[in-house]
């Protein structure tokens, strides 16, 4: 069953990339980039998941030290990943707004300032 999670992750990554390729609007392209990144969340969480395991919170009566828990590290990585994503998305959206101000369009097909 686990393999489906990985396939979903790869699919989401490719969908995001395809979205950027076909994008007619830079804001849409930046959102597609976030979609591509959400593939990494799916991937990381799928790696840490274990069926019939509890959350990695020890010390409560329900979780004794040797019960099996899901991998705690990948959650930390996913959180870091989300922070990185928020930074990059915010920055790129700000740049997209600026592109609109300077070029009067956000359609990549109409931006011809960097050809050749």
Of the pair 7, 62, the CB lying nearest other proteins is at: 7
> What does the alpha-carbon distance between residue 78 and residue 90 come to, in Å, rounded to a whole number?
18
Q: Which of 59, 61, 65, 116 is the binder for other proteins (CB under 8 A)?
A: 116
Of the pair 21, 61, the CB lying nearest other proteins is at: 21
**Contact flag: residue 96 with other proteins (CB under 8 A):** yes
> What does the alpha-carbon distance between residue 5 and residue 95 come to, in Å, rounded to a whole number?
34
What is the Cα Rg of the chain in Å?
20
Number of residues that bind other proteins (CB under 8 A): 45
CA 14 to chain centre: 12
- Closest distance to other proteins from the beta carbon of 65 (Å): 16
């Amino acid at each position: 069953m686990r393999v489906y999670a990985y396939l979903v992750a790869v699919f989401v990554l490719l969908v995001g990339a395809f979205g950027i390729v076909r994008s007619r609007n830079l804001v849409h392209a930046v959102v597609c980039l976030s979609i591509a990144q959400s593939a990494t969340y799916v991937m990381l969480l799928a790696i840490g998941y274990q069926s019939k395991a509890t959350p990695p919170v020890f010390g409560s009566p329900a979780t004794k030290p040797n019960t099996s828990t899901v991998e705690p590290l990948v959650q930390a990585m996913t959180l870091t990943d989300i922070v990185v994503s928020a930074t990059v998305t915010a920055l790129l959206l700000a740049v997209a707004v600026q592109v609109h101000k300077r070029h009067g369009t956000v359609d990549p097909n109409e931006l011809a300032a960097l050809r050749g």
